[in-house]
Amino acid sequence: LDLSGPMLTRARAQAAEEGLDRITFEQGDAQVHPLPASAFDVAISRFGVMFFDDPVAAFNNIGRALRLGGRLAFVCMADPTRSEWVSVFGTARAYLPLPAEEPATPDGPGMFSLADPSVVHRILDTAGFDKVHTEPVEALSDFGRDAHDAADHLLASGPGQHLVKLLDSASSVDSADRPSGTDSVRAAFTVALAAHEQPAGVHLRTSAWLVTATRR
């Protein structure tokens, strides 16, 4: 179940390539999607639960779809200061003439909305889960062959495109001599990523929580 049609199209194609025929894919919003009651043994998500407008309602909806004692398992981003790729964005911003952004709403949806384990416990307890456990996990991810390759990878991400939009909106006068927002962000990423280049490529640490719980 996912909101993104293109991601589901890719998932269907990959499942077909791997001969996995006991899977169905549905497009919808887990907050309100009419899931069958008490129909599933486990609900699993990888970095897909941090963007709910109303996380309690969303996990309530998911919980109702689990049998009593059914399991929930997901990974979500942890403290952003522990993820090296996040620091790359901070370094890149120093090279860009970006406008100041309004601070994010602490309780609003976003990549790090579940970074505080106490928030995770409160939400899941309110949504009808118990035996909530948060385990820190870290992994090195391969971002590219070199700084240029890794810069393209980050540029294609949601946060990378966000920087491009900010930079374009800050430039009120078009000039043939001025690099595009895309080129400027790519250049800033390349400079920031140079410090992470190794012979085997650019590998950056990601810090997350592995969260498990059961339906009360």
Q: Is pLDDT at 177 greater than 70 in this prediction?
A: no
CA-nearest of 111, 86, 99 to 192 is 86
Pick the residue with more confidence: 102 or 203? 203
Would you state the torsion angle of the CA atoms of residues 91, 96, 102, 103, taken in this order, to the nearest 10 degrees?
0
Q: What are phi and psi of 121, to 5 degrees?
A: -60, -45
Q: What is the pLDDT of residues 100-159, one digit of tens each?
A: 665 555 567 889 999 999 999 999 999 999 999 999 999 999 999 999 999 999 999 988
For residues 104 and 192, give the distance between their C-alpha atoms in angstroms, rounded to a whole number: 24
Q: Is pLDDT at 213 greater than 60 in this prediction?
A: yes
Q: What is the pLDDT of residues 36-94, one digit of tens each?
A: 999 999 999 999 999 999 999 999 999 999 999 999 999 999 999 999 999 999 898 88
Q: What is the pLDDT of residue 104?
A: 53
Contact 143, 203 (CB under 8 A): yes
Domains and CATH numbers, the chain: 31-215 (3.40.50.150)
Task: Mention every residue, 6+ apart, whose C-beta is less than 8 A from residue 108.
Answer: none
Q: What is the pLDDT of residues 31-40, one digit of tens each?
A: 999 999 999 9
CA-nearest of 73, 204, 89 to 139 is 204
pTM: 0.86
